[in-house]
A and B are shown apart, each in its own frame.
Chain A
Amino acid sequence: MAVTPAGIRPTQRPGVGRLLRSPMLDPVWAVLVALACGAIVLLLTGHDPILAYREWIERAILRPRGIQETIVRATPLLFAGAAVLLALRAGVWNIGIDGQVLAGALVAAVVASGLVHQPKVVMWVGAAVAGIIAGAVWAAIPALLRGRFGINEIVTSIMFNYIAVSMTAWLVKGWLGDPDVVLPQTRLIPVDHRLVTFGETRVHIGLIVAVILVVVLGAFFSRTVAGYEIKAIGASPRAAAHGQIPVDVSITVILIGSGAIAGLAGVNDVLSTKGAFQAEWNPAYGFVAFALVFLGQRSIIGLIPAALVFGQLSYAADVMPRAADVAPAFFDVIEGALMIALAVSVWARSASSGRIRFGSRGGGGDV
């Protein structure tokens, strides 16, 4: 022990124990806990977890195909994660992502099939704009209900998710469906009209758009007054109201903006991997997007590695039934366990800055 003069503390040495407990490693611990939970489930159901995990690594992670597919599936999740994060920065939970994705996807599919004889770029931009508007409109209903009547957006947006599933199915089975095919789906976009891919891979330019969006979002929060105001609302609605920020209007606009970004996730899928909107298709990006945002420690840049983690889980769910006879639902267990582990870890404790608001129409909101 070094002898230190009174009043002067020795500088803290970086020990291994301290490093392992640093908040930076919380996401790593959460992933390990989730994988351990998964291993226990496998063990209890008579699988060999070591064998299954080895197959997973070999077939879904190490092969070039696995890396490609991880990126392809991470792309819509990046949009969805950005949508969640935008709202969460203002302290608002947009749980209506699923419905907004479906609305964006259906409208984009219909517009794209209408513009199929136009130049490709016209079709893509037209479909994207339509999808953005559709996602925004779908988010606008719960957003306006919150802004106008003070009805908590968590419950209404979940209701709108279920409404979207049934309503899109109903529309596609009816007058939006392609009458020439048996399956209830919109008119298929020809493969040469889908989003351009990089060389022979399946990775497409949607990824570039998603990354640009993340960069723009980062700049928005760090460089603009509006971004600062959103963070101020998230930190304390009451203080923000005192600072002349119109809290109710801002929250409504933020939810609509969040829905617009979520709509892009639907556009991305329709224009690339799906090619059409099929009745009852529901990728359910919503809950996953929350887990993703918290895995990225609610930082903008953290969205990208977190999206890759969930992109990989999505691909693994496709590969593992054949590779190791593990049903796709196993990866929902991993994702759920990951979400609970993230909720437990330290920095999630301060996640929702305020108390949950139902009924009462609070001008500044209560914290």
Chain B
Amino acid sequence: MNVELVITTLLATALLSAVPLALASVGEALGERAGLLNLGTEGMMLLGAFSGFWVALKSGSLGLGLLTGAVIGLVCGLAFGLIAVVVGADQVLLGLGFTLAGGGLTAFLFRESFGSRQPLLAESMGRPFRGVADAVPIVGQAILGQAWFFYLAWIIVAGAALGLKYTTFGLRIRAVGDAPDAVDTLGISVRATRVYAAMCAGTLAGLAGASLSIVEVGFFQPNVTHGIGFIAIALAMLGRWNPTRIALMAILFGMLRGLGSGLQLADVPVQSDFVQLLPYIGVVIALVVTSRGISLPAALGVTWTRRK
């Protein structure tokens, strides 16, 4: 066994597996900061994954596929936001409904489009820094040998972190989740801010799904996300709704997610059912270890109405 190859492969799969987790989880955190608990992330990811894959396959353009996934996510987020904020529907039930409907719709459309076939994306994504990757030992291929979307995704995550911290919109998102009444007295619309936050969350969930199907695996199959959306919700909590911490958590869990395929690629025999357990058990252990003292956004899950 080539130890150097194993380390490189594991690191590369960990960083790649972290991308959908980080995107979806940062999106979830933006929503939760604004007071919206979106349990529909899993369904929105599946819709982004399917639509993105379909467009990428038909058009031959991977970038267009990713954009489609993001747009579908945006539409889902808008729908979720309007129903949760304006109609005032129960967020838990609504989110579970989105997950159920998203999973069903993508499975149905997949069969309608492809029957029992399992098409693969022929084209692989360009790797802009590949030329210099070999210059750096061990970590070179893992960090510099990735597809272009990999770098874009981390830029988006960094942008979300900076935006939430330094922009007016970021401040408003944090404020409507903690003190909606105070925001309202300043003449800022609580509802509009929450709907915008839901749109951000949906866009990132859709993009996360598309990155899974297009960049990471190169195909779609029913329920391809296998709980990533729910892990993302847990990571948002574990990272205490702070995008930087969430990114670090995502890399840690990307390692657990990628462990199975990484070990297989490096020819290490593993029990697949057992390796699949690891991210979920990891989330539970991490919650037990870090849960003390987490203070969640004060208005999370509560529909806001102006007090008379």
Contacts and interface: CB of A to CB of B under 8 A. Distances in A.
Interface of A: 41, 45-46, 93, 95, 145, 149-152, 154-156, 158-160, 162-163, 166-167, 169-170, 173, 287-288, 290-291, 294, 327, 329-340, 342-344, 348-349, 351-352, 355-360
Given A334-B104, A343-B94, A355-B301, 20 more contacts: A152-B237, A155-B234, A167-B273, A170-B274, A288-B100, A291-B100, A332-B101, A332-B107, A340-B83, A340-B94, A340-B97, A342-B97, A343-B89, A352-B301, A355-B299, A356-B37, A357-B296, A358-B296, A359-B291, A359-B295
Contacts, number: 181
Given A163-B277, A336-B43, A343-B90, A156 B284 contact: yes
B101 A339 contact: yes
B283 interface: yes
B273 A45 contact: no
A332 B90 contact: no
A152 B294 CA distance: 11
A196 to B, nearest CB: 34
Contact of B104 (A45, A160, A330, A343): A330
Contacts of A339: 93-94, 96-97, 100-101
A289 to B, nearest CB: 10
B288 interface: yes
B88 A150 contact: no
A93 B277 CA distance: 23
Given A344-B83, A359-B293, A349 B89 contact: yes
A360 B83 CA distance: 28
A339 B234 CA distance: 23
Contacts of A155: 230, 233-234, 237, 283, 287
Most buried by A among B96, B105, B300: B96
Contacts of B93: 290, 294, 339, 342-343, 348, 351
Contacts of B300: 355-356, 358
13 contacts: A145-B284, A145-B287, A149-B291, A155-B287, A156-B287, A162-B277, A170-B271, A329-B108, A334-B104, A349-B89, A352-B90, A355-B302, A356-B296
A254 to B, nearest CB: 17
